[in-house]
Amino acid sequence: MAHWITHRGEKSYLRNKCGKFFCHKSTLTIHHRTHTREKSSRPYECSQYGRSYCRKSALTRHQRTHTGDKPYECNECEKTFHQKFSFVQHRRTHTG
């Protein structure tokens, strides 16, 4: 259901401080961090380099550079990728 909210343009979460509306509560929470400018605005930190991220998914992607994990594999040529976006782009090379 949340996916369709994005396509329909429904924005039910309001940020009172700036008047912006958001489709998802998680997006509002991340936006709220831009106003606070606290260290906690980037609560997900890489233990190896100390780099911080707003989203856990961004830290997970970053950590793959350390581990070498490439969870996305092309079933046509067996090439692997760190990020889904890169994998999706690659798939287009097979489909035209």
Q: What is the per-residue pLDDT across 37-51, written as a single tens digit (0 to 9) for each?
A: 555 667 889 999 888
Q: At a CB cut-off of 8 Å and minimum separation 6, what does 33 contact?
A: 40, 41, 42, 54
Residue 19 lies in a domain: no
| Position 68 confidence tier, pLDDT thresholds 50, 70, 90 | very high
Q: At a CB cut-off of 8 Å and minimum separation 6, what does 41 contact?
A: 33, 34, 54
The values of phi and psi at residue 84, to 5°, are -60, -40
Residue 90 lies in a domain: yes
Residue 67 lies in a domain: yes
Residue 54 lies in a domain: yes
Residue 85 lies in a domain: yes
Q: Residue 32 corresponds to which tokens in the numbers above?
A: 């709220």
Q: Residue 85 corresponds to which tokens in the numbers above?
A: 């976006």
Structural domain for 76, as ranges: 44-95
Q: Collapse the DSSP code of 74 into the 3-class scheme (helix H, G, I; strand E, B; otherwise coil) and give the result.
A: coil
pLDDT for res 44: 86
Residue 68 lies in a domain: yes
